[in-house]
Amino acid sequence: MRLRYLHLSHYPALADLAVAFSPRAPWAAFEPQGAPARLAIHFVIGQNGSGKSHLLRALAEGFLALADERLPRSPVSLVYELGRPGEPGHRTLIFDCPGEAHATTLWQAEGWTFPDTTDREAFGQAITYLRTVERMPQGTLAVFKPRIARGDYPQSVPDALPRALLAYTSGWMEPWRAAWQPPVDGEAVNVVTQLPDHDPSQERPPGWTEEDEASVVIDGGTFGEVAAPTVAPAEAEATPADLFRRPLLLEPVMLTAALLAVALQVAEAGRQGQADEALAELFRKAGWHRLVGVRLRVNLDRALAAPRALVERVHDAIRLAGECLAEPHPGKALRSLYFDIDGALPTNVELRDAQRFEGLTTQGQALHALLGEKGDTAFERFGALLGWWRHGVLADIELFIRRNDPPDEESLTDLSDPGVLRLSEFSDGERLVLARWALFHLLAGQNDALLLLDEPETHFNDAWKREIVQVVDAAMGADASQVLIATHSAIVLSDVFDEEVVLIRKANGQSTAEGVSDHTFATDPSALMMTVFGADDSIGARAQQRIEAFLGAAARKTAPTPDDVRQLQALIRRLGTGFYRTELQTLLNRWQQAPDLRAIEQVIPTLQSDALKDELRALILKACEAKGGAEGSDA
């Protein structure tokens, strides 16, 4: 999966915005000759309010419209690639929706891609040309065939979608949820009801939730008098390909599900002697030593109304859990299933799928088996949890984590042992960094995935921010997938080339996309703050004002006293490295010169002879070196 071009017309807050996602970063210099294409990472940066989050949402909405077989809410043109360049199955697709169903098309070129040097204007010209032809383009674009011809939209094209599109935001969720939900009751909203293809069955009342939608979508019920379109799989055994064809917005419970799926896979690999030490070390940085327990909160009312395969799976989960506790609720039959990862399985229990659990001895192994087959990946187990959630069966997940090894029996009263904590008791930073890192490893090995991250560095300390790109690359670096990140952090940009950064500028209410003019790869983040984000300085204004005032006052002193020198020395010792420390050190050197040398230095600019100036400067330098050598010998 590689994004190549996005054009938005009249998207709320963005108008006529065109972005070309450049693949020209010189990564080939670091790769073996002929190495396959790797993960594509792009950053979207800009000031607050410039439209970074809107751009990511608009991209997701374009793929949502294609998945749901409907018009996006505003015109959009998308150029993207699926598969690995040079390998069978690679193709370039162009989804072009000028705003009307009869004019919407999907073009496909097998085994062909736009040159890496293609810019926004060239992409725009190609799309404009394709709008003028019916089925047989000419010239360079003759490789494109209509997958959905003009007049045939909408229709189902599941293989033209990313294998998985996952979107995450650390900001306000409501605008993102609105993009994923059908429009609310819109009788008075002309922009909705006046569209020529407006479908009243898509309307939902205010406050409509995912669970409400599940009751209509999954059970085949109706809303009003018209059946709602199906957007979720109907069976518990639906494959991940079916589950992820529709883009997924990662709600908090799904982030925890991703962490659980990865943790179970890590635990199983450890039991088989194949532990991923790098991932384990990554988790330890956030206070995670070992998963010791899991609580699944399930809704029995929803489970009883689910397909038979899911009913049986929930039945076995209840039987295999160490505890099944009823939770009081006025309108729902909720049960909390507790699994002790190393706890023994209950004996003599009646199971619907006993063969699945043969030879297993612990509740952790049973939970691992409940969520997939023996050879399944963490991604596929996450898909199983997603299926439970979409059917309204899974209401919540809680994880119980040990922060370090338990103390010896002799020291059970050791108060330094933090014991076992719930994930919800971790700090915001710890909890979120674990979930986001797990998300990257969840997608490991899943080619053609698209991950949209809206400010994922929120709640991270600077060290964790610096590691984001490295963690993504370590997990997904060998995959032909795409990660698009909106960020405010200069720290993360030093891990990518400037070709991989899209800068959104807003002026007079209009947002435009452009590249950055300065190099970013391996650049000091403090320099990026100024060159990329437009900061006035690399240090805080308060520190700058105080030091500038001090330098101004010091410059007016023609005869500094020993107390002045000692004060300046103390200030330099407390200053961090950088430009101002160098300036103050230069001032100190001048103050420490002999008074007669300072007098000579002040006279030099008034002299007419350049030769005499050079001789006097050499004399001062020699005297300073001699003074420095004498001080060194005294020490």
pLDDT digits (tens, 9 = 90+) for 85-99: 889 999 999 999 999
More confident residue, 170 or 580: 170
Same domain, residue pair 493 and 551:
no
More confident residue, 456 or 12: 456
Same domain, residue pair 560 and 441:
no
**pLDDT interval class at 337 (50, 70, 90):** very high
CA distance 294 to 337: 8
414 inside domain: no
Contact 17, 8 (CB under 8 A): yes
Same domain, residue pair 151 and 258:
no
Contact 144, 107 (CB under 8 A): yes
Same domain, residue pair 502 and 564:
no
Q: Which helix (H) or strand (E) holds 98?
A: none
604 inside domain: yes
Find the DSSP H helices in 96-246.
Answer: 120-130, 174-180, 190-193, 210-217, 240-243
Q: What is the pLDDT of residues 187-243, one digit of tens each?
A: 444 444 455 555 565 666 655 655 565 555 444 444 444 333 333 334 345 555 667
431 inside domain: yes
217 inside domain: no
Tokens of 181: 């939900």
Which among 146, 176, 151 has a CA at the least distance from the CA of 59? 176
Predicted confidence at residue 284, as pLDDT, reads 87
Contact 162, 82 (CB under 8 A): yes
* Mean pLDDT computed over every residue of the chain: 83
Average pLDDT over residues 10-32: 83
Predicted confidence at residue 219, as pLDDT, reads 47
Range in 25-29, 357-361, 598-602, 614-618 the model is least confident about: 598-602
Who's near 384: CB < 8 A, 6+ residues apart? Answer: 236, 370, 371, 372
Tokens of 468: 């984001």
Count up the domains in the chain and report the number: 3
Predicted confidence at residue 204, as pLDDT, reads 64
Same domain, residue pair 150 and 271:
no
- What distances in angstroms separate CA 381 from CA 310, 322, 358, one per listed residue? 14, 21, 19
Cis peptide before 154 (omega within 30 of 0): yes
Range in 40-44, 464-468, 498-502 the model is least confident about: 464-468
Same domain, residue pair 266 and 397:
yes
Residue 432 three-state SS: helix
More confident residue, 547 or 385: 385
Q: Which helix (H) or strand (E) holds 81?
A: strand 76-82
Per DSSP, the residues of 176-208 read HHHHHSPPB--TT-HHHHTSTT--GGG-B-TT-
Q: What is the pLDDT of residues 260-302, one digit of tens each?
A: 999 999 988 888 888 788 888 888 888 898 899 999 999 999 9
Predicted confidence at residue 218, as pLDDT, reads 47
Place of tokens 């030879």: 359
**pLDDT interval class at 113 (50, 70, 90):** very high
229 inside domain: no
Predicted confidence at residue 232, as pLDDT, reads 39
The proportion of the chain whose per-residue pLDDT surpasses 70, expressed as a percent, equals 83
Same domain, residue pair 431 and 293:
yes
Print the domain residue range for 398. 251-407+419-445
Residue 56 predicted with pLDDT over 90: yes
Which of 531, 564, 579 delimits the end of a domain? 531
Place of tokens 């160098």: 582
Query: What pTM was estimated for this model as a whole?
Result: 0.80
Q: In what order do the strands lie in the sheet with 248-249?
A: 248-249, 164-169, 449-454, 482-486, 40-46, 501-507, 510-514
More confident residue, 221 or 155: 155
